Amino acid sequence: MNNSFLWGGATASYQCEGAWNEDDKVDSMWDAYLHEKGLENGDVASDFYHRYKEDIRMMKEGGQNSFRFSLSWPRIILDKEGTVNPKGLQFYHDLIDECLRQGIEPFVTIYHWDLPQYLEAEGGWQNRATCDAFMHYARVVMKEFDGKITYWTTFNEPRWFIFNGYFIGNYPPECHSAQMTIKGAWHVLLAHAMAVQAFREEGIQGKIGIVHSYTPVDGVDDRPETLKAMRYADNYCNNWVLDTATKGEIPQDMLDKLSAEGIDLSFMNEADLQIIRNNHVDFLGLNYYSRTLVKPYTEGETTLIVNNTGKKGKGTSKTIVKNWFEQVQDPDSEYTEWDTEIYPKGLYDGLIRAWERYHLPIFITENGIGCYEDVSVDCVQDDWRISYMNDHINAIMNAMDDGVDVRGYFAWSSFDLYSWKNGCEKRYGLVAVDFENGLCRRPKKSYYWFKDVIESKGERVERRKL
């Protein structure tokens, strides 16, 4: 790895900041939803809003040279008229300045799911006006922090928050509608392209990309019907985000199939399509947790279930997309308590495919394992995380050896934080946060291991062929 390779951790505003109603911040859709339902929420989370200096110091001491975090839209823009909150901007100036002082490259996500509730109340991502509001917000922050930031990304994981919010219904606004899913996805792609347009119009320094929940698709065999199912699955999982953001092309066979199945695409008007066609990213951020193994569709209605129970095989995750494909589990693979397959080879395969297809610089913007951990000890001996990270960094290094231009690796997450519907007990951090005892921070064994890896420029990783 060369000296400019970025090594760090990643977080998201709602998942770590807390301070949910401080310094004039307004409600996000997650504040409103979780408060209304009385569910575990991010009101305090890791209290990063007040402890960011300590957290950045630990990143520095851990040898990291970059930090991926998101800006909170409802902290910065107070209403649908677009009023800017100076206190919100000040917080991020302070945070960014602290990063720069410590030699940590800030890697910024503009949107990581915390839509202001005043926009959700007007239809959220179903409403074309939200795209204009996003462009305004993106323009404000890009101009405000111009010159301090080299790497901007517009959206974190469009697929994940759109499918969960509009089809699976485990995220706000808890809908179950294919039509709303497609329309929401369209508006997010459009808003993304509008932000890229604003970035170019304003002559903002640095580079702009998008972060995708990348899940490379494998088939159970190579029969023609399986290959067809794989193409449908790849469109569903990846291509609609990646093809569109990199080339301005929404996969035509996917649009044809959606129309044939009765989805109304009349909202895709020519003027907006033109914005999408004209505004492409400079790099890709890929979050990798697992691949998707598929077989041809056989029967049943479309069923999407995410395991938020934390009991292996109980909340059984399932994906069947009627007339498209069915996801299957590999009996020979290992799975986490949340039914996520541990499959580092998928990262190698995915990097090779993304490189062949898009030829753009790639950052692995998230990778990590969620576990139950006892954090009352001095140092959590998280050998499972070390082994997981070792095998995934090894996969990246193998892909780089084979020519893929990977520029950085961000562990999810820098420290323990609130894991959406899984609460705080699903821990991903390199640093333990004791949520029960004053939120004190203690580095885990993986933090020290990661430091060694960084200092050795990757030499410390146990290499193997995949």
**Site residues (vs ligand BG6, CB under 6 A):** 12, 15, 156-157, 160, 213, 287, 366, 370, 412, 419-420, 422, 426
CB of 215 to ligand BG6, least distance (A): 11
Identify any residues that bridge with 153 across adjacent strands, giving them in sequence order: 109, 209
Catalytic site residue 157? Answer: yes
Q: In terms of CB distance, is 267 or 384 closer to ligand BG6? A: 384
- 191 vs 417 by CB, closer to ligand BG6: 417
Rounded CA-CA distance 349/214 in Å is 11
Strand 334-335 to 325-327 pairing: unpaired
> Which listed residue (157, 326, 341, 373) is catalytic?
157
Closer to ligand BG6 by CB, 162 or 229: give it: 162
Q: Which residue has the closest beta carbon to ligand BG6?
A: 419
Active site annotation includes 337:
no
| Residue corresponding to tokens 């323990």 | 416
Return the beta strands (E) in 180-257 as ranges.
Answer: 207-214, 217-219
**In the complex, minimum distance from the CB of residue 365 to ligand BG6, in angstroms, rounded to a whole number:** 8
Q: Which residue has the tokens 């009991």?
A: 311
User: Contact, 411 vs 430, CB < 8 A?
Assistant: yes
* Residue 151, beta-bridge partner list: 107, 207
Q: In the complex with ligand BG6, which residue's Cβ is closer, 238 or 398?
A: 238
Return all residues near 270 (Cβ < 8 A) that are at least 6 apart. none
SS3 (DSSP) at 402: coil
Q: What is the 3-state secondary structure (H, E, C) of 326-394?
A: EECCCCCCEECCCCCEECHHHHHHHHHHHHHHHCCCEEEEECCCCECCCCCCCCCCCHHHHHHHHHHHH
Q: Which two tokens stand for residue 270?
A: 């020519």
* CB of residue 409 to ligand BG6, shortest distance in Å: 15
Q: How far apart are CA 364 and CA 411, in angstroms?
A: 8
DSSP code at position 157: -
**Closer residue to ligand BG6, CB minimum distance, 427 or 442:** 427
To the nearest whole angstrom, how small is the minimum distance from the Cβ of residue 111 to ligand BG6? Answer: 11
Least Å distance, CB 28 to ligand BG6, is: 14
Q: Which residues are catalytic?
A: 157, 366
